[in-house]
Amino acid sequence: MSELPGDLTYTKEHEWLRQEEDGSITIGITDHAQTALGDLVYVELPEVGQEVENGGEMAVVESVKAASDVYAPIGGTVTQVNDALADDPEMINADPYGDGWIVRLQPSGDAGETMDPDAYQAFIYALDE
Amino acid sequence: MGSQTPLYGCHVEAGARIVDFGGWDMPLHYGSQLEEHHAVRKHAGVFDVSHMTVVDLSGAGAKEFLRRLLANDVAKLKEQGKALYSCMLNTDGGVIDDLITYYLAPDRYRMIVNAATRNKDLAWINEQAAAHAVDVAERPELAMIAVQGPNARSLAAAVIGDQWREAALALQPFYALEAGDLFIARTGYTGEDGWEIVMPVAQAAGFWRQCLDAGIKPCGLGARDTLRLEAGMNLYGADMDESISPLEAGLGWTIAWDPQDRDFIGRGPLTEMRANPDRRRFSGLLLESKGVLRNHQRVVVEGKDDGEITSGGFSPTLERSIAMARIPAGEYKHAQVEVRNRLLDVRVVSMPFVRNGKIRIDL
């Protein structure tokens, strides 16, 4: 298991959030999630400008094995999507916390519950047992 | 924890992600399913298929028994080692299992059946065998390894003893050879050339390691599934089951209707279905856009009943999504599939999608 980046927060849906300096939030899926999914082959992204609710479906990542929804961990407006994933979905496998980011939101609504790296690490250990 | 094949330790050692498959702890992949898939199409891959069930049939009544048991006709098998793919049907014409039968001698055949269907297959075979002079013997002491890909035979030949190498390399497609402890068949489930090799459990780990040393890539069930889907090969439990006849699973070609007086199990109901022009077709689908088709998605055909995807997924060779589907009768080239409440255009295409490394449909 690789080290979890310390500057991110995490959700029970195995997504990560990064607070950007401009107030926006970048969202992706965790290394644990990409490992469980296997090789990714398709990512369905939202439209820029789309409003999303906290907990609502925001994107879909599909692997060789299964489709998995990506839920908005906070309400807001989509300001940017990672278009490079359309041709290169396996970037999520290769670099889930970097080039494999999925969506950037300008938050406006409620935030869901998130965990710090230690709490998320404990959460995934508990799942594996 | 499920049953483990003699190669379980090798899989864990190679970093496999283990999943349950029909009660067996099997490798899904060893890191990247896509890389394993491409290795088989372009080079060589090795699969542990020891979970599959080997059943040997012997006795003066073996041939007549199999002519009754199977929808295909073992009387076609005239040369030693020749293999025959067939469905084993219930009395309603539904598929109990699909299997390969090898003709070893006039009173001796070997059948290889699926893992997940083992118990019901053995119960059915033994029940039907009671009326025949045939001995049915499962061979759990045997392991099975498949080497598949354009370079698989030439690389795996080094692993086979000097005594048998030449004969093994001379095997024609769909023939097998009893080579001492080994049983080598030029068959597979990937659409590529290769061998399936049955051997004593005690030899399996050594054989496996020598294959890896020879440069053959270990491949899991994930790649096995995408390879067989591209090759247009059915998966029992997904594409057909006991409620589906071979006629609606694209397996009509495996039914031997002649001679007409051969009374195989399921023949009556199958004959009626054959006369029905409205029976569903089994066909390939190619997704026109990006996205991934999945099992059980609804196929919408204008002016007709709905169809259903029986096996869908991403084709690594085509870099598009493909599927097998049971769809309404009739001639049409276009349909739609419901994917998460949206209708996506698909083209109805004939299978296989890929064979021997070559794409066989227009993209």
B258-279 pLDDT, tens per residue?
A: 999 999 999 999 999 999 999 9
Kindly state the average pLDDT of the residues B27-39: 97
Q: Which domain holds residue A120?
A: 9-128
Distance to chain A for B223, nearest Cα, Å: 9
What's the pLDDT at A109? 76
Q: Is residue A3 part of a domain?
A: no
Q: Where in chain B is the domain with CATH 2.40.30.110?
A: 246-359
The pLDDT of residue A112 is 84
Question: In angstroms, how far is CA B306 from the centroid of its own chain?
Answer: 27
Q: What is the pLDDT of residues B41-72, one digit of tens each?
A: 999 999 999 999 999 999 999 999 999 999 99
Annotation: CATH topology of B246-359:
Elongation Factor Tu (Ef-tu); domain 3 (2.40.30)
Residues B332-343: what's their mean pLDDT?
96
Nearest in space to B51 (alpha carbons), one of B14, B96, B4: B4
Cβ of A56 under 8 Å from any chain B Cβ? Answer: no
How far off is chain B from A70, nearest CA to CA, in Å? 14
pLDDT value at position A3? 79
The tokens of A55 are what?
Answer: 């907990």
Nearest to A58 by CA among A48, A45, A67: A45
- Asked if A88 reaches chain B (Cβ–Cβ under 8 Å), the answer is no
| Residue range(s) of every CATH 3.30.1360.120 domain in chain B | 1-224
Rounded to a whole number of angstroms, the distance from the CA of A89 to the nearest CA of chain B is 12
Check: CB of residue A33 under 8 Å from CB of residue A123. Answer: no
- CATH of B1-224, picked from 3.30.1360.120, 3.90.920.20, 3.40.50.10860, 3.40.50.720, is 3.30.1360.120
pLDDT on residue A127:
87
The region that residue B148 occupies, defined by phi over 0 for left and psi between -120 and 50 for alpha, beta otherwise, is: beta
Mean pLDDT, residues B324-346: 97
Indicate whether A19 belongs to any domain: yes
A75 vs A110 pLDDT, higher one: A75
Compute the average pLDDT of residues A97-126: 93
pLDDT at B211: 98
Q: Which residues contact B142 (CB under 8 A, 6 or more apart)?
A: B50, B54, B183, B198, B199, B200, B201
CA distance A111 to chain B (A): 26
Say whether B290 and A42 touch across the interface (CB within 8 A). yes
Q: What is the average pLDDT across B169-185?
A: 97
Question: Is the pLDDT score of B1 beyond 80?
Answer: no
Q: How many independent structural domains does chain A possess?
A: 1
Amino acid identity for residue B194 in this structure: G
- pLDDT single digits (tens) B61-118: 999 999 999 999 999 999 999 999 999 999 999 999 999 999 999 999 999 999 999 9
Q: Does B313 touch chain A (CB under 8 A)?
A: yes
3 state DSSP class of A70: strand
Is A109 within the bounds of a domain?
yes
Domain membership of residue A90 (yes or no) is yes
Quick check: is A93 in a domain? yes
Give me the pLDDT at residue A129, please: 66
How high is the pLDDT of residue B229? 98
Residues B131-142, mean pLDDT to the nearest whole number: 98
Residue A92 belongs to some domain of the structure: yes
Give ipTM to 2 decimals: 0.88
Looking at chain B, list the stretches that DSSP marks H as alpha helix, in order from N- to C-terminal side. Answer: 8-13, 33-42, 62-69, 118-129, 152-156, 162-169, 201-213, 221-230, 267-274
pLDDT at A2: 64
pLDDT of residue B219: 98
Question: Residues of chain B with pLDDT > 70: what percent?
Answer: 100
Q: What is the pLDDT of residues A26-58, one digit of tens each?
A: 999 999 999 999 999 999 999 999 999 999 999
Residues B340, A42: C-beta atoms closer than 8 Å: no
Asked, for residue A16, whether it belongs to a domain, the answer is: yes
Cα–Cα distance measured from residue A70 to residue A103, given in angstroms and rounded to the nearest whole number: 10
Write the residue in B33, B292, B316 that is nearest to A67 by C-beta. B292
CATH code of A21's domain: 2.40.50.100
Average pLDDT, chain B: 97
pTM: 0.95
Interface test with B, best of A31, A42, A64, A93 (most B CBs within 10 A): A64
